[in-house]
Amino acid sequence: MATLHTVNKSPFERSSFISALNHTVPGDKVLMIEDGVISARKGNTFADLVSSALSDCSVYVLAPDLAARGIAEGDLVEGVQTIDYGGFVDLVAECDRTQSWL
């Protein structure tokens, strides 16, 4: 019954990251793509929010978008998983619906 929530904007620019986290139910999956990956860098202002989301949701970032922005996979908030576009497709298929927080 899970929902995949995608976030494509930096939390420093838009409220979509916070909105997405505010509308998950336990078991949902959150995927940061495009500028959304900025929220997953360890030590950033929003890192604690990512950590608390991990208590009842899975959080993923799209590796190609991380690499494009010069963020190393080792520099992510602990518990955040990296996937490629194929993994994105798998998440869409595994979840019952996708909500894009545009």
Partner 1 sequence: MAMDEAGGAPGAAKKFLYVNRKAPYGTIYALESLEVVLIGAAFEQDVQLAFLDDGVYQIVKNQSTDAIGAKNFSPTYKALGDYEVTKLYVEAEALEERGLTADDLMEITFEDEDDDWAEKPSINIVSRADMAKIMSEQDVILSF
Partner 2 sequence: MKLGIVVNEGPYTHQASDSAYQFAKAAIDKGHEVFRVFFYHDGVNNGTRLTVPPQDERNIQKNWTELAAQSNVDLVVCIAAAQRRGILDENEAKRQGKDADNIAPGFRISGLGQLIEAGIEADRLVTFGD
Nearer to partner 2, 1 or 93 (CB): 93
The answer to whether 99 and 3 are in contact (CB under 8 A) is yes
3 binds, among partner 1, partner 2, none (CB under 5 to 8 A by kind): partner 1
CB 17 within 8 A of CB 46: yes
Token code pair at residue 83:
């996937």
Could you tell which of partner 2, partner 1, none binds residue 85, using a CB distance below 5 to 8 A set by kind? Answer: partner 2
What residues from 27 to 46 belong to the interface with partner 1 (CB under 8 A)? 28
> Whose Cβ is closer to partner 1: residue 68's or residue 89's?
89
Edge-to-edge strand list for the sheet holding 81-83: 81-83, 58-62, 29-32, 3-7, 97-101
Task: Give the span between the Cα atoms of 41 and 91, in whole angstroms.
Answer: 21
Contact between 24 and partner 1 by CB under 8 A: the answer reads: yes
**Of 20-28, 51-59, 70-78, 85-93, which part binds partner 1 (CB under 8 A)?**
20-28
